[in-house]
Structure 1
Amino acid sequence: MKIIAIGRNYAAHAKELNNPIPSVPVIFMKPDTAVLKDNKPFYLPEFSSDIHYELEIVLKICKEGKHIQEKFAANYFEEVGLGIDFTARDIQSQHKEKGLPWELAKAFDNSAAISSFVPKSKFENLYDLQFELQINKETRQNGDTKNLLFPFEKIIAFVSQYITLKKGDLIFTGTPEGVGQVHAGDHLEAWLAGEQLLNFHIK
């Protein structure tokens, strides 16, 4: 299982980090050791003093495919969930300044918190899905899939031109604006279309 993540897929988020709006998807990856499941607590790592949350909708790939055409891409996922891409923003900024890869900032252990998954058939329109993150009962992020720069099918088609997708792979589809730092003691809760899927603490 691998985790493929899409950066800068909401224009307002790109702008809040002073990044250009991309013309093609920005891709990075996390190893399977990044996965944090079952609402277990996230422990702040010692190597960073600025860990940020980024709430995202996650697709679970249901069958193997490569060179997938966009018109068939919807057949390659049946479930969606929520995930938090934890990012060591201080390390990422240092690496971006030097033109270096982001892995140390993005791929560390437990940096991909994931929820349970929901059948996509439950939703009338995948491009009218609202999702929300609250920290200590205060809303920090409010997203809507109608604002995606690259829709799910385009992401799957694009990635599969380079990387074979396999059953069980996860695709983090990008975060809306409102990212920020987490602190020890924070309580994170997240909802997809009104259903709570994440509920855990920072330690």
Structure 2
Amino acid sequence: MDIRNIYCIGRNYADHARELGNAIPDKPILFSKPTHSLTIANGQMLEFPSNRGEIHHELEIVLHIGKPYEKGISLEELVDVMALGIDFTLRDEQNELKKKGHPWLRAKGFKHAAVVTDFWSFPGEETCKATDFSLLIHDQVVQKGNIQQMLFSFEQMVEEVGEAFGLGEGDLLFTGTPEGVGPIQSGDQLSLFWGTERKGHFSVRM
């Protein structure tokens, strides 16, 4: 699967915004990641930097765009498949960048900063509301969410990104993380679940 652009939505779950002491936004916060940060979670060991402060996991639903965005296009026409993903964040670096008013890219775009599972057919936004998604570390649930908790719907997000930047076939959209983000440690084993189905897993080395 050829990936063109990786767009992300920040603070799309109110409880996550609160846990980091951030204001709840009144419109989607947009940022991006380089495609070089993308990795498929297929059971492998992934290397992360050990000298750049804490690295936090942020579990997300990831939408894959199947055709070019046009104003008025329906979500089901635009999105063909979906996955689970983790938006890894160098939290200490991000906090320093925010203090200086600088972009977050250094904290969001490092190698393996965008991990995704294999993709499956997108069933539509309403159907997704029936299923929780979760992240387990060493078989313990650390994050669990449902899209009913989102501030902005899939429909709102794709319209916002489509109008701001355009969306085309092969683009990815990370849709925000629920509460429970925290640091990873060397030796951690991470599993991403859609309902009771494990969609991907990997280990961490730092």
TM-score range, shorter chain: over 0.9
Q: Unmatched 5+ residue regions in structure 1?
A: none
Give the Cα–Cα distance (whole angstroms) in 2 for the partners of residues 129 and 105 of structure 1. Answer: 30
Partner of 1:93: 95
Residue 109 of structure 1: CA displacement?
A: 1.5
Partner of 1:142: 144
Partner of 1:155: 157
Seq. identity, % = 39
Alignment partner of 1:12 is 2:3: no
Partner of 1:171: 173
Contact 1:81-1:192 at 8 Å conserved across structures? no
Alignment partner of 1:36 is 2:39: yes
Runs (4 or more) in structure 1 with deviation over 4 Å come to: none
What whole-Å deviation, never above 9, does each CA across 1:96-149 have from its counterpart, x for those lacking one? 111111000001121000001111238861223300111011110010111111
Contact 1:74-1:153 at 8 Å conserved across structures? no
TM-score by length of 2: 0.93
Within 5 Å, give how 1:46-195 maps onto structure 2: 46-66=50-70, 68-69=71-72, 72-121=74-123, 125-195=127-197
SS at match of 1:42: strand
RMSD: 1.6
Give the Cα–Cα distance (whole angstroms) in 2 for the partners of residues 7 and 164 of structure 1. Answer: 18
Length, aligned pairs only: 201
SS at match of 2:192: strand
Q: Unmatched 5+ residue regions in structure 2?
A: none
